[in-house]
Amino acid sequence: MTKRNETRYDEAQDAMRDGADDEQIRRDYGFNRQVIAGLRAALADKGPTW
């Protein structure tokens, strides 16, 4: 994974932690529903990191 993509994923997960809904993540980062679901699942697996 490129550094740019890694940064996008991290920023999207930060937005999810801040309460962003799926539509906002899709608009801001261009991810489809499957990617968003995967990012949310990864957050649940890791637990809170803030």
pLDDT by residue for the chain (50 residues), tens only, comes to 788 889 999 999 999 999 999 999 999 999 999 999 999 998 887 765 55
- Compute the radius of gyration of the chain from its Cα atoms: 10
- CA-based end-to-end distance of the chain: 23
Q: Would you state the pLDDT for residue 45?
A: 75
**DSSP tally for the chain: helices H, then strands E:** 3, 0
Contact criterion met (CB below 8 Å) for 12 and 31: yes
Q: Would you state the pLDDT for residue 19?
A: 95
For 26, how many CA atoms within 13 A lie in the half-sphere containing its CB?
7
pTM for the model: 0.80
